Amino acid sequence: MTHRLLMLPGDHVGPEILAEADKLLRCLMADFGLDAELEYANLGGCAVDAEGEPFPRSTQRLAEEADALILGAVGGPQWDGLDRDRRPETGLLAIRSALGLFANLRPAILFPELVDASSLRPDVVSGLDILIVRELTGGIYFGQPRGIRTREDGTREGYNTLVYGTDEIERIGRAAFEAAARHNGSLCSVDKANVLESSELWREVMESLAPAYPNVRLSHMYVDNAAMQLVRDPRQFDVIVTGNLFGDILSDCAAMLTGSIGMLPSASLDERGRGLYEPVHGSAPDISGEGVANPLATLLSVAMMLRHSLDEGALADRVERAVGRVLADGHRTADLAGPGVASIGTVAMGDAVVNAL
Amino acid sequence: MTHRLLMLPGDHVGPEILAEADKLLRCLMADFGLDAELEYANLGGCAVDAEGEPFPRSTQRLAEEADALILGAVGGPQWDGLDRDRRPETGLLAIRSALGLFANLRPAILFPELVDASSLRPDVVSGLDILIVRELTGGIYFGQPRGIRTREDGTREGYNTLVYGTDEIERIGRAAFEAAARHNGSLCSVDKANVLESSELWREVMESLAPAYPNVRLSHMYVDNAAMQLVRDPRQFDVIVTGNLFGDILSDCAAMLTGSIGMLPSASLDERGRGLYEPVHGSAPDISGEGVANPLATLLSVAMMLRHSLDEGALADRVERAVGRVLADGHRTADLAGPGVASIGTVAMGDAVVNAL
Ligand SMILES: CC(C)[C@H](C(=O)O)[C@@H](O)C(=O)O
Ligand SMILES: CC(C)[C@H](C(=O)O)[C@@H](O)C(=O)O
């Protein structure tokens, strides 16, 4: 059966790195039996420019028909002044919500070749391999009521609602327990249950799920302590599960620990395994158009897609091995090259991976 | 005029480290002309045990009469099972709110002698000296409505409200601009304005204050990026201002960057300069009763109190110099001693500081 893949290049370096994903996929189709067809659509700032809104109806229709989606990155300073409903980020939130992509998987892996790129001491991070499972379609990102209103005394207040139902917590909890069972068997649920009632319910539901996963050890940690422990000794963690906002903060922190933010993929999955795959890094307006962006996070996102949505685990392994070989051979984009080390551009790095397949 | 100081030992290591603050203060009174009187009251778990609630009326009365308060730490596993309104943390939130302690100042300083205790590479953290100004009496910690309720379909949901009014944002904003003017002149306001309306208003109010502080450079950063940048290159920051929840997370992260969490003091101030001073570290149930807790964060909190609430800057300098001398002489509590380095206990460390005054 032909897999329908939707490519969403997005803004700034997005199209540059997605061109490398396209190249990789066409190679897998031509030489390794991948049966897929690629379509393209607009999301983010480019969609605002072309169609007047960040998540156009045309994109939504194609997205709903796709088996998997690959996104470059959205956003940039030229759209910052727009109203909230026309901002690129709003398009990203809208596609997550419309497709029900509630489970965001963000691995934070230290590539042995890149240990010197981390700002942490090698003895603290070497071998780091943790996975953050972030709830992506609920919590304070989507809670109602929200807005800015004028109070009786004439001053204004801004307000947002953090809300989680037991059904939402159970759904992300199950995804996390399953991920922990595949990983190293321990799951740390992060909340702020000593202050927030929404976290109190979160913790209770996580506990209620534990008996169904006897091979997974569940623990709990407050979010402030989790931020400290990630810095102090990140390898104490295996899989972390948390809500939308805490996951936003902690997953970026964890990604930066590895020093290889240009290397980290992510998956956002719905209940049936359809997913949107994207690099953890953003649209990097400061280097866009220069052909120097690191495409490896995007190529590793393709690998995640092959494994999680297309059931092509062997091809996923092949892509990941090719990336490992390219690094071992000393190829580096500018973000990975230490002082005095020669670097190659986006296209050359994509070529190197394709050649190493 | 005699300063009235209220000592709140709290739980676990709290009384052990507060005994050293008591010793230091009595030495300053006897030999260095400090005019103060010390009273004691219960807060946290000890207050629940003795008086049935974590912030008793008796403590509140003494607190309201005091010029400054010194807190050890509250909390411990034996109170974890209690209802929310009887938990030690509830007492801490209640005293912050009752006294209007809206401005929480948390320095994250790397002591040169302790650079090896950080999990970050020395070239990334040496000389680190940043200050986090956290709003402490508003935001999602105190917002209404909040709770756990049953929905029409029979499932439950937990909900909290994040709310900030312009008056609250202006108040913490002014405190932060003033702190930045005293520090190195740059202020980074951290929010999530690309998703939250409450952050949108926060950012707008911070901008509106900037013209009144022409010597301070104001910038803005999203909280996820701030967590990354703290790990990547913390010295890019000078003073950070942020809301209650983001401040809880980022200040713990920043404190841990220094590797010297046993060294870091904090101040929580009201509008007139009255303050509650406490170490950043917690009540450490795992080492309580052993006489090994590091009292230096508490002694440095006393120095902050001398400077911010008692207008005794010269005495504050004297205490800070004494702590520096003790470290330079090689004295280390267990948390600071590297492998193979001899350590001293809580009382011996307190004595060393008093002797070095
Ligand atoms: C761009 C922004 C809305 C988004 C988020 O906060 O979820 C981003 O930070 C992310 O983590 O994917
Ligand atoms: C104990 C807890 C309620 C408290 C907070 O979240 O404010 C603590 O983490 C702190 O930062 O002082």
Residue B113: predicted pLDDT = 87
Cα–Cα nearest to A132, from A32, A270, A241: A241
Average pLDDT over residues A350-357: 98
Return mean pLDDT, chain A.
Answer: 96
Interchain CB distance below 8 Å, A252 and B227: yes
End-to-end CA distance of chain A: 23
How confident is residue A310, by pLDDT bands cut at 50, 70 and 90? very high
Domains belonging to chain A, first-starting first, are 1-102+264-357 (3.40.718.10), 129-257 (3.40.718.10)
Residue A158: predicted pLDDT = 98
Residue with the smallest CA separation from ligand 1 atom 11 is: A248
Q: How far apart are CA A293 and CA A287, in angstroms?
A: 7
Q: Are B197 and A250 contacting, i.e. CB atoms less than 8 angstroms apart?
A: no
**Is the shortest distance between the CB of B170 and ligand 2 below 6 Å?**
no
Residue A232: predicted pLDDT = 95
How confident is residue A269, by pLDDT bands cut at 50, 70 and 90? very high
Q: Are B277 and B316 contacting, i.e. CB atoms less than 8 angstroms apart?
A: no
Give the residue from A135, A197, A248 with the most B CB atoms within 10 Å of its CB, the best one to mutate: A197
pLDDT over 90 percentage in chain B: 94
How confident is residue A121, by pLDDT bands cut at 50, 70 and 90? very high
Q: How far apart are CA B178 and CA A334, in angstroms?
A: 40
Chain B residues within 8 A of A116 when measuring between CB atoms: none
Residue A86: predicted pLDDT = 95
Residue A81: predicted pLDDT = 87
pLDDT over 70 percentage in chain B: 100
Average pLDDT over residues B1-28: 97
From the list B11, B67, B164, B192, the catalytic residue is B192
Sheet holding B147-150, edge to edge: A147-150, A156-165, B156-165, B147-150
Chain B residue with minimum CA distance to A204: B158
- Helix axes A313-328 and A296-308, enclosed angle (nearest 10): 160
Quote the minimal CA–CA distance from B84 to chain A in Å: 8
B355 φ, ψ to 5°? Answer: -65, -30
For this structure, is B192 an active site residue?
yes
pLDDT in tens, B238-257: 999 999 999 999 999 999 99
Chain B residues within 8 A of A119 when measuring between CB atoms: 120-121, 124, 231-233
Q: Are A118 and A140 contacting, i.e. CB atoms less than 8 angstroms apart?
A: no
Question: Which residues of A are known to be catalytic?
Answer: 141, 192, 224, 248, 252
Least confident of A81-85, A347-351, B183-187, B335-339: B335-339
Residue A289: predicted pLDDT = 96
pLDDT in tens, B99-149: 999 999 999 999 988 888 899 999 999 999 999 999 999 999 999 999 999
* Å from CA of B44 to ligand 2 middle: 12
For residue B65, CA distances in Å to A155, B39, B50, B247 come to 31, 11, 21, 28
Assess whether pLDDT exceeds 90 at residue A80: no
Chain B residue with minimum CA distance to A146: B197
